[in-house]
Structure 1
Amino acid sequence: MRWSRASICLLSLCSVGVHAASLTVPEDGALELPDSVVTGSAESATGPVQGYAATRSASATRTDTALHETPQSVSVVPRDVIDDISATRLQQALDQAGGVGRANNFGGQGLTTFTVRGFTTGEFYRNGFPINRGYPNSPDANTLERVEVLRGPAATLYGRGDPGGTFNVVTKQPLAEQRTTIGSQFTDQGLRRGTLDTGGPLDEEGRLAYRLNVVGEGGDSFRDDVESERYGIAPVLSWQVSDDTRITFEGDFMRNNHPLDRGLTHYPGQRGQPSHSTYYWEKGTDNMLHNDNDMVQLRFEHQLNDDWSLAGGYQYLDGSLKGNAVEANGIAADNVTLNRNFNYRKLEWTDHDFQLNLTGHFETMGFAHTLITGVEYEDYDYSSIINRSTAAYPINIFDPVLGQPRPALGNITTHDRENLKTWAAFVQDQIALTERFKVLGGVRLERFEHKYDDLRINNADWEKADNAVTPRVGVIYDLTDSVAVYANASKSFKPNSGAARLGGGFDPEEGKAYELGMKWAALDGLLNIDTAVFHTIKENVQTVDPVDPSFRIAAGEVRSRGFEVNVAGELTPEWRVIGGYAYVDAEVTKDSTLPKGTRLANIPRNAFNLLNVYEFHDGALRGLGLGVNLKYVDERAGQTTATTYTMTDYTVTDLLSFYKVNEHLRLNLDVRNVFNKGYEEGSFNAYAYPGEPRTVQTGFTYTF
C-alpha cells in the first residue's frame, strides 16, 4: 500500500517534468503553442455543470427535467465546487448543500449518516441505484461529477427510505476526447493522497469510450494513534452500439482500513472531556476494521423512437466489514475510568438490484406529458456476528495507557442472517397544463418480504411481508420567466428491523410530508435562489416496550417542520457562491417513555453555510482563486432521550486558494478551521465525534 501511494505521487511529479521537457522553445524565445478548440454543449441532467448553478437534474423525477420546473427542493453540488474546496471525501461535498448536517460516522467506517429536514438519513444512490446496503464505503470524491440532495420523501421513485431526504451521486463518465489528470493532496495532520483520472475514446469513431479513476491514500489524522489507508479503482466503459442504443459498464472497488474510532464519550456524571485529539480506544494493526466493497453496474439506454425510450440496468453489491475493535460499556464510579469491551465483528452483505424504466413524451387534448413508468426487483442479504469480551478492560480517559492485554472473547451479542426482497412498480406523469402551470403526479406499489434468522440460543426468528403504496403530487407555476412557486405532498415508508417481545417483526415506518416553495433564477439564470417551508411526520418509530424495556415496539411518532433557503451560482463572472440556511423544529410527538417535545438527536434548530470563491480572470492575478467557506451549526441534542448531553453550537471558517499556472497545472493551498474551533460534528448514543481542528492542505493536479 505504501508503495502504491508513493508510485502515484512519483508518477504525478514525473509527468509534470516530462510534459515540460516536451515543449521546444525557439532561439528567439517565442514559445508557440498548438491551436486549441473549445467546444461546449447544453447541460444534461447527469452531465457536467458549468460553474455552480446547475439547471437540470434527474434525481427528483427520474427524467431530464429543468430544476426550475421541478416542484421539489433539489440542490446540486457540481464538480467545480468539489475542485474548488479540494475535497477528498463525499462528506465535504455534502457540507456545501444547505441544511445538510452530519450525524453518526460509524467510528470512521463506511458511509456517514446525515441529517436533512430534521431526520437522520443514510439514503444514498449512485446513478439512481441504491448503495446504502450494509456498511458501504463512501464513494471517493475523485469519482464524483455531481452530488444531488433531494429534500423530502423520494419513495415514489426509489422505494424505502427516510422522509427527510435522499442523496444521489452522479459519477464521472467516459470522455469524448482523451484526457488524463493526476494529482496529490497532503495535510499537516498526516494525510497523503494520490489520484488518477483518465478517459477518452477507444476507437476511431468514438463509439467505445472509457473513464478510469484510481485513488490511494493513507497516513495519520488529528486523532492520536489513528492511522488509516484507503485505495480504490473505479472503471467505466461505454459502448454506443447504435445511434439509438448505449450500454455502460461501471465498477467501483474500494478497500478501507481504519480503526473503530468512537470519538469521545458523554456519560452522565463523567468528569469533563479530554482534548479532542485524545484517543482512548486501542491502537495497532490488530485493532483495525477492514471494509471491502465491490460495486458493479450494467446500464443501458435505448431510444425506441423520437418520443419513447427504454432504460434500466442491474447493480451488484458485495461487501464486508471485519476485524477487531474496542467500545465503551459505561463510566466507573470515579467518573474518569471508562469501562470498555474488546470485540470482534464480521459483517457481510450482497445486494442485487434490477431496474427497467419506460419514458415517453406525448400530447393529449393539448396537454404535454412526460410519462415514466418502471419496475424494480431487489434481493438483499446480510449476515453478522459480533463477539465481545466480558472481563474488565478499563482505561483513564484523561491519561489513557494503550496496549493493555486484551481480555478473552466470550459474549456473542449478535449472530444473525437477514434477507429482504422487494418487488415494485411505479408510474409518474409530468403534465404541462399551460406554458406556465405544470402538474406532477405519481404512485409506487411495493411489496417487501423480510426474513430474519437469529442464530443465537434464544432464536428469535421472524418473517414479515407487507405492501406499501407511496403516492406524491406536486404543482408548479411560473409567476414570471424567472420566478416560480410550487407545492407538493408525498409519503414514504421504511421497514423496521429487530424482533418484538411476542415474536415477529414490526410494521414499517411511514412518513408523510408537505412542502411549499419558490424558485428564483436570478441574474438572468446565473444565480439559483430556492426557498421552502415544510412539515413532515414519521410514524411507527421504534420505542421502548412498556411491558419489557429490553424489547421495542413500533408505536412512536416524530414531527419536523421548518424553513430553508438555498443559493448557488454567480454574483459576478468572477464571484461564485453556494450555500444555504435552514431552521428546523424537530421533536418527539408520541412515545411510550419519552415526553412530548423531546428534541431529536443531531438536529440543530439553525444551520448556515456559505462558500464564496473569487477567481481572477484578467491581469497579473489571472488564474488565482481565493475563497472563504463559513459554516454555523446550532446546539444539538446528543441523544433522543428525556435527559441528554448537548453538543454546543459552533462556527467554522475555512480559507481556500488555488492557482491555475496554465491550462495543465493547478496548485491549491487551503486552511480548514482557520481559528482552530473545537466542536463536535455529530453523535451516536453516548459517543460524540470531534470535528477537525485547524488543518493545512496543499496539493496539485496536472492535466494533459
Structure 2
Amino acid sequence: MQTKLFARGRGSAVAGRSHTTLENSYAVQLGVSALALAAVMVLAPSPAAAQAQPAGVETISIPPQDLNGALEELGEETGLQIAYRSADVDGRMSSGVQGRYRPQDALALVLAGTGLSFQQTGEDAVMLVAAAEAGDGDGAIRLGTLGVAGEAPAYQPAPSSLATKTTLPLEKTPFTINQASEELIRERGDSSIYETLERFAGVTSVSSNGDIGQSMSRSINVRGFSVSGNNQLLINGQRTYGSAGSARSAYSLEAVEVLRGPAALYYGAAEPGGVVNYAYKRPQEEARHVVLASTDDQGSYGGMIDTTGPLNEGKTLLYRLAAGYDRYEDDQDHIFQEPASILGALTFKPTSKFETTFTYEWLDVESVPEQENNKLIGEGPDEGEYYPVPRDFFWGSLNDRAVRETHTFLWDARWEASEYFTIKTNATYQDYEQWWQNTRINSSRGSGNPAPDAEGNVPRYVSGRQSEGSSWSVGADVTGMFDTGPFFHEWLVGGGFGHEEGRSSGRAVASETRPGGAYEVGPINIYDPVYRDWPYQYRIWDDPLGEKNEREDTNFYLQDLISLPNEKTRVMLAAGWSQYEDIPSNPDQANKTDKWSPRIALMHDLTPDLMVYASYGQSFSPNSLGMLDGAGDYITTPQEGSQYEIGLKQVFSQGRAVATASVFRIEKENMPMPLQDAAAGECDPEAAPAPGEPASFDGTGDCRYQLNGLEVSQGAEVEVSGRFTDWWSGTASYAYLDTEYDETDDLASLGRTFPYTPKHNLSVWNKFDVLRTEARGKVSLGIGATYWSKGHGSWGEPDASGNRTSYNDAYTLVNAGLFWDDIDVGGKDLKISLNVDNLFDKTYYDRRRFPEGGTIVWGDERRFSLSAQLEF
C-alpha cells in the first residue's frame, strides 16, 4: 500500500493554492518520504535542531475543524512546513487555536488530544508522527494535553461556543457546560430528551400540570430554577421560543448541551439557572450512512436513516439527511408516544474562510396524555384511600391525544475576512400547531376525587384545546483580535432580535357536572372498564382561537477576552443590554422592560492541563403579566438573578478526558409576594380594585403584590467525561444543591428548600471493552446508575399530623448495556445493542406526583431494548 505524505506551508503554490500536495509529484513524494522515514527511524534531530523555531510570536486564529483543514490553515498563517501521512490525519478533529503563539506552540495546540506528535526536520519544517512513535529521544517534542479533540471518544466533550461565543475550548471556558453526544445518548438507551437531560446531575424535569401530558411537556430545572420559559431553549446556539419543555426527536440531534448559570448576556431575558442547547446534525465532508432499527419487550419499535457527505468532488457542497420514526409503548395501558422527524441540511463551503448552512426539520409528535395512574378518593367511606385499580390502569378515552407539528428553519454563516476579523450570522424561523384531548377523573365537586358508586363507576370529564404559534429570530456576532502592548485581546460585538406570537382556544370541557353535559364522556367502571372513543372531538376544533399574544426580545452585547503577558492568565469582561416586551391581547397589561447584564471571569492555567477560574454573571426575567402593586399599577420590574462561580478544569488521559469541579451561589430577587396576609385566604380577583385605584389592604382579596421575595440556590458540581484508558470510556457527575426561600411572605416556605429539587444527585455511565478480535469485532459492556436523594412537594400549613409537605423517598436506577461493534457485513459495520433500563425493577414515582401528595405517576418499569445499526 502506498504511503502518502503531505506538506503545508506558506510560499509553495500549485494550481493557485497556497499549499503543496506532495502526492502530485511522485519524485517529490519519494524524496520527502525518505526524509520523513529517516527522521523517524534513524536521524532524530539534535537538541539544537529540535529547539529551532521560526522567528517570533504570531497572532493565530484557527477555529475547531477537521485536522486536515486546521493544519492547512496553520501552514498558510505561519509558514511552517508540516509533513505527515494522510492516514494519520484523516478522520481526526482539532479544537483549533486562538491567540498569540510561536508557530510550533500553536501546532502543539492544534494536535492536542489527537494522538499525534511532531518532530523538527528543519528550521521551519516539522513532521507529524504518532505519539507512540515519538519516544523519549531528544528529537521529539512532547505535547501537552491542552486541547480536547482528535478521534473523539463518544463521551469526550466536543468543541462548543455556547458559553463564550469564542474559540475557547471547553476545558478553558470559565463556566460549567455539560454535553451528551448522539452516541452516548444511544448507548445509554435514553428513552426521551427528558431522560437525557436528567442524566446531567443537578438537572431535573418535572411533570407539568397542563392537560397536554407529561410525555409531551415537562418543566426542566437547572440549579433549582426552571429553564422552560422565556428563550432558554437554543437550537444550534440560536434562540427559539416556547419549546423548552416540549418533546423532541433525538434522531435530529448530534448533541445536547446545558450551560449552567446566567446567560442573559447573549440570549436576553432568562432564568439564572442556565440554558439548554440542542445541537442539530450538520453535513460532514466524509460520506457516512447509518441505518438503525430498534424494538423492546413492551412492543415498541422504530428506526432511523442518517446519511451525509459531499455532493461534489471538491467537497464545497455537503448534505445531511436524517429521518426517524418511533412508537414507544408505555407500561401503562393505552399510553404511547409516536414521534416522527425529518431533518435536511445543506452546507456550502467554497473556501476554508467561508461556510454557510441551511437546515430544515419537520417534527410531528403524537402521544396520549399521561396525567395520573391513580388518585386519592376524596369522599365517602374510602376517603384517603387510592382507587383499587392495578398499576397500568387507564382512565381515559381511546382517542385522547396530544399532537404537535413543528417546522423549524435554521440558517447560519461564518466568514473569516482575515485572521483578525470574523463575522457570524444566523436566522431561525419556527411554527407549530398543537391540540390535545384528555379524559380524566372528575374532581370538580369541591370535595376531592369522587368515590366509586355501588357498581364501581367513577365519573370523568373531557377537556381539550388547540393552539398555534410562530417565532423568528436573527443574530450576528463580529469577532476579532488586536494587541495593546503586551496584552492580547479577543473581542466580540453581537446582537439579536426575536419575535414570538401565539393563539389558543378556550378550554372545551364536557361532563355531567360541567357545561355542555350533552357531550359528556360518561363514567368508567374500575372493575370492568370499557374503552371507546369520545365521539365529540370536533368540539375542540369548533372552539375558536383567541386573540394573539406576542413578545419581542432585543439584545446587544460587548465582550473582551484579555490574555495577560504571562500567557497563563486571561480576563473576560462583558456586558449586554436586553429589552423584553410582552404584547398581550389586553394592551393594558403590556410589559416592557430592559436591563444591562454584566459578566466577569478570571482564568489562570496552573499547568498546561489544569485551569482554575472564577466568574460572575447576571440575568433577568419578567414577572407574570397582570399583577398589580400596592398603588394599583401593573408590575413591570423584572426578577433579577446573579451568580458567583469558582471552579477548576483538568485534562487528562492524553487529552481524551476532562474533569471539572465548581461551587456556585445564585440569588434571585424581586420575587412577587402577596400583600395580604398569607393566612387571610386566597386572593379573589373579582374583589380586587381596578388598576389605578389604591388597595384597601384589609387582607381579603386585594390581589396586590410587592417584590420582596429572595430565592437562593448554592452548591457544588463535579463531572468527569471521556476515554480514561484504551478500554474504558465513561461519564460521571455529582451535584449537591442547597436551595432556600430566603425572603418570602409565605411563612410556610420561609427558610425551606425548593420543591421537587433533590439535594443530592449522582449520574454515572461506563463502557468497558471486554473483547476485541479483527475477525469478529468488539464486545463491550455498559453499566450506569442514577441516584436522587429524597424530594418533597410544595410547603403549606401543617396538616393534622403536623406535616407541611409530602416526601418522595430517595431512589437509585441502574441501567446496563451489552454491545457488539464492528461486525463486518460485506464491508459494512454492524453494531448490535441490548439495553436494560431499571435493571432491578425499582419502584419510584414522578418527582411532582407521589403517594403522599394524593396523585401517583409511576416511574418506568424494567425494560429490555434491542437495536441494530448498520454503518457504511
Task: Report what 1:361 is aligned to.
Answer: 481
Q: Does 1:271 align with 2:385?
A: yes
- Equivalent runs, 1:595-674 vs 2, <5 Å: 595-616=749-770, 618-619=772-773, 622-639=777-794, 641=796, 643-660=804-821, 661-662=823-824, 664-674=829-839
Q: In the TM superposition, what is the alpha-carbon distance from 1:560 to its structure 2 partner?
A: 0.8
Query: Is the CA contact (8 Å cut-off) linking 1:636 and 1:648 kept in structure 2?
Result: yes
Letter in 1 for 2:575: V
Query: Is the CA contact (8 Å cut-off) linking 2:316 and 2:349 kept in structure 1?
Result: yes
Q: Distance in 1 between matches of 2:443 and 2:637?
A: 32
Q: TM-score, normalised by structure 2?
A: 0.71
Residue-by-residue CA offset, 1:329-361 (whole Å, 9 max, x unaligned): 648567756775411211211101010110112
Change (3 A) 1:180 1:55: closer
Query: Is the CA contact (8 Å cut-off) linking 1:49 and 1:79 kept in structure 2?
Result: no
Q: In the TM superposition, what is the alpha-carbon distance from 1:158 to its structure 2 partner?
A: 1.4
- Equivalent runs, 1:124-523 vs 2, <5 Å: 124-134=233-243, 137-264=246-373, 270-272=384-386, 277-285=391-399, 287-327=400-440, 330=443, 332=447, 340-387=460-507, 388-389=509-510, 391-392=512-513, 401=529, 403=531, 415-433=546-564, 434-453=566-585, 461-501=588-628, 502=632, 504=634, 506-523=636-653
Determine helix, strand or coil for the equivalent of 2:266. Answer: helix
Higher strand share: 1
Residue-by-residue CA offset, 1:264-306 (whole Å, 9 max, x unaligned): 4666874247778434441322x11211111001111111111
Task: Report what 2:845 is aligned to.
Answer: 680
Task: Report what 1:24 is aligned to.
Answer: none
Q: Does 1:93 align with 2:196?
A: yes
Determine helix, strand or coil for the equivalent of 1:94. Answer: helix
Q: Is there any run of 5+ residues in structure 2 with no aligned partner, and where?
A: 1-85, 97-147, 453-457, 514-520, 685-702, 798-803
Q: Distance in 2 between matches of 1:292 and 1:483?
A: 46
Change (3 A) 1:284 1:334: closer
Letter in 2 for 1:54: P
Residue-by-residue CA offset, 1:47-84 (whole Å, 9 max, x unaligned): 99433222632111012211221111112222331232
Q: Distance in 2 between matches of 1:79 and 1:182?
A: 14
User: CA-atom RMSD, angstroms?
Assistant: 3.2
Change (3 A) 1:568 1:497: same
Structure 1 stretch displaced more, 296-305 or 675-684: 675-684
Q: In the TM superposition, what is the alpha-carbon distance from 1:315 to its structure 2 partner?
A: 0.3
Q: Distance in 2 between matches of 1:206 and 1:363?
A: 36
Change (3 A) 1:161 1:518: same
Change (3 A) 1:292 1:177: same
Q: Is there any run of 5+ residues in structure 1 with no aligned partner, and where?
A: 1-34, 455-459
Letter in 2 for 1:448: Y
Determine helix, strand or coil for the equivalent of 1:524. Answer: coil
Letter in 1 for 2:178: S
Letter in 2 for 1:290: V
Residue-by-residue CA offset, 1:659-691 (whole Å, 9 max, x unaligned): 012351110101100111111233279766432
Query: Is the CA contact (8 Å cut-off) linking 2:843 and 2:861 kept in structure 1?
Result: yes
Change (3 A) 1:335 1:347: same
Query: Is the CA contact (8 Å cut-off) linking 1:489 and 1:513 kept in structure 2?
Result: yes
Q: TM-score, normalised by structure 1?
A: 0.87
Letter in 2 for 1:58: S
Rg larger for: 2
Task: Report what 1:18 is aligned to.
Answer: none
Task: Report what 2:8 is aligned to.
Answer: none
Letter in 2 for 1:521: V
Query: Is the CA contact (8 Å cut-off) linking 2:742 and 2:751 kept in structure 1?
Result: yes
Q: In the TM superposition, what is the alpha-carbon distance from 1:699 to its structure 2 partner?
A: 1.0
Q: Does 1:79 align with 2:182?
A: yes
Task: Report what 1:696 is aligned to.
Answer: 864
* Aligned with 2:163 (options 60, 63, 70): 60
Paired residues in the alignment total: 664
Higher helix share: 2
% identity of equivalent residues = 23
Query: Is the CA contact (8 Å cut-off) linking 1:639 and 1:686 kept in structure 2?
Result: no
Q: Distance in 2 between matches of 1:506 and 1:398?
A: 50
Task: Report what 2:690 is aligned to.
Answer: none
Letter in 2 for 1:120: S
Letter in 1 for 2:714: R
Q: Distance in 1 between matches of 2:286 and 2:225?
A: 43
Change (3 A) 1:167 1:668: same
Determine helix, strand or coil for the equivalent of 2:213. Answer: helix
Q: Distance in 1 between matches of 2:443 and 2:217?
A: 26
- Equivalent runs, 1:558-573 vs 2, <5 Å: 558-573=711-726
Residue-by-residue CA offset, 1:357-395 (whole Å, 9 max, x unaligned): 101122222212221111101111021223233644786
Letter in 2 for 1:582: A
Q: Distance in 2 between matches of 1:233 and 1:474?
A: 40
Determine helix, strand or coil for the equivalent of 1:156. Answer: helix
Change (3 A) 1:496 1:347: farther
Change (3 A) 1:688 1:228: same
Residue-by-residue CA offset, 1:392-428 (whole Å, 9 max, x unaligned): 4786896584648969879999955321112110111
Query: Is the CA contact (8 Å cut-off) linking 1:225 and 1:283 kept in structure 2?
Result: no
Query: Is the CA contact (8 Å cut-off) linking 1:336 and 1:397 kept in structure 2?
Result: no
Determine helix, strand or coil for the equivalent of 1:251. Answer: strand
Change (3 A) 1:631 1:136: closer
Structure 1 stretch displaced more, 467-476 or 634-643: 634-643
Q: Does 1:528 align with 2:642?
A: no
Task: Report what 2:114 is aligned to.
Answer: none
Determine helix, strand or coil for the equivalent of 2:585. Answer: strand
Residue-by-residue CA offset, 1:108-127 (whole Å, 9 max, x unaligned): 45453322212222232111
Query: Is the CA contact (8 Å cut-off) linking 1:250 and 1:296 kept in structure 2?
Result: yes
Higher RCO (C-alpha 8 Å, min separation 6): 1
Query: Is the CA contact (8 Å cut-off) linking 2:241 and 2:500 kept in structure 1?
Result: no
